[in-house]
Amino acid sequence: MRHNRDKFQNECDTLTNMQDMKAFSNKIILVTGATDGLGKEVASYFAEQQATVLLHGRNMDKGEAARLELMEKTGNQNLRYFNADFASLSDVREMADQILADHQQIDVLINNAGIGVRTLEAKREVSSEGHELRFAVNYLSHVLLTFRLLPLLKRAAPSRIINVASAGQQSIDFGDVMLENDYDDWHAYQQSKLAQVMFTIDMARELKGSGVTVNCIHPATLMNTKLVYDSPFFDIPASTVEEGAKAVEYLAISPALEGVTGKYFDGKKVAEPNPQAHNRDARRRLWELSMKLIGL
């Protein structure tokens, strides 16, 4: 009896997997920062499901190596690599144009690329356009990419945007968004992550009725990635990249989240972001500044 039940369960699982695989083979998933850590793990999962996966990175050799590695591991021939340094808005524009030229739709956009906290010294860096580096890479470049790719996301609706933010959030001082005074990496990282959350809330409103949902996530705390290993700020990893990837995948595909939009998740659960995310005036100021900086 027990044996029959297990057999039945296995058959159901196989059927579900086959249906999922079939469903996935028509899907196009774009993962930014797919050359390492969380992004690579998520890209690997979707490659295994035989989706078309668009991998993004900033180093052509590392990106091609990641693509070939995942191709060999999963047998998926539909993996493409796009190179763009997100410290440059013109690189982001070029990458978006290449994607627009090559693809008709995007089912899931995972805005994941990011830099963490590299130094405890006050060593402020800027992007090609002169914007504070973490604000530019973690936040602004993804705002631009999202706007440029909206036609493809709308065409694929119902489609999803996932912004990989963090529980590390700090309110934005609109008198010094580019952190020209009293700079520190941790502050820069945390304000860029809150900016992603604030953008998620407003973008959800902007996309109402389009069939495109947008949510953001703290994937897991101190995962075993180079972002954590390279930081003098963190001691040891406290979770795994697999755990974070499962949460991101849940936001990307779970039927339970159909129509859910404008939310901040801690892992798989809806959570409360920094209170500034609920401040309409602050969000309006960030939105207006962002549109100006990306030239929209």
Ligand X SMILES: NC(=O)c1ccc[n+]([C@@H]2O[C@H](COP(=O)([O-])OP(=O)(O)OC[C@H]3O[C@@H](n4cnc5c(N)ncnc54)[C@H](OP(=O)(O)O)[C@@H]3O)[C@@H](O)[C@H]2O)c1
Active site residues: 189
Question: Is residue 198 close enough to count as binding ligand X by CB under 6 A?
Answer: no
Residue with Cβ nearer ligand X (223 or 294): 223
Residue with nearest beta carbon to ligand X: 37
Question: Is residue 166 close enough to count as binding ligand X by CB under 6 A?
Answer: yes
Rounded Cα distance between 110 and 46, Å, is 12
| Nearest CA-CA partner of 83 in 102, 69, 62 | 62
Site string for ligand X, 37-56 (x = CB under 6 A): xxx-----------------
Question: Is residue 96 close enough to count as binding ligand X by CB under 6 A?
Answer: no
Site for ligand X in 19-38 (CB under 6 A): 33, 35-38
First-to-last alpha carbon distance for the chain, in angstroms, is 64
Give the total of residues touching ligand X (CB under 6 A).
29
The full 3-state SS of 76-136, as one line of letters, equals: CCCEEEEECCCCCHHHHHHHHHHHHHHCCCCCEEEECCCCCCCCCCCCCCECCCCCEHHHH
Site for ligand X in 118-147 (CB under 6 A): 137-138
Residue with Cβ nearer ligand X (150 or 223): 223
262 contacts 205 by C-beta, under 8 angstroms: yes
DSSP state of 262: S
- Please identify which residue in the block is written with the tokens 């779970």: 254
At 257 the three-state DSSP class reads helix
Question: Is residue 99 close enough to count as binding ligand X by CB under 6 A?
Answer: no
Query: Smallest gap, in angstroms, from Cβ of residue 6 to ligand X?
Result: 37
Give the residue, chosen from 29, 55, 96, 113, that forms a contact with ligand X under the rule CB under 6 A. 113
Task: Taking each helix axis as running N to C, give the angle between helix 280-294 and helix 141-155, from 0 to 180 degrees, rounded to the nearest 10.
Answer: 90
Site for ligand X in 262-291 (CB under 6 A): none
Residue with Cβ nearer ligand X (37 or 262): 37
Edge to edge, the sheet with strand 28-31 lists 79-83, 52-57, 28-31, 108-111, 159-164, 212-218, 264-266, 269-270
Question: Is residue 164 close enough to count as binding ligand X by CB under 6 A?
Answer: yes
Backbone angles phi, psi at 58, to 5 degrees: -115, 0
Choices 17-25, 99-107, 109-117, 283-291 (CB under 6 A): range interacting with ligand X: 109-117
Binding residues for ligand X, rule: CB under 6 A, are: 33, 35-39, 57-59, 62, 85-87, 112-115, 137-138, 164, 166, 218-219, 222-223, 225-228
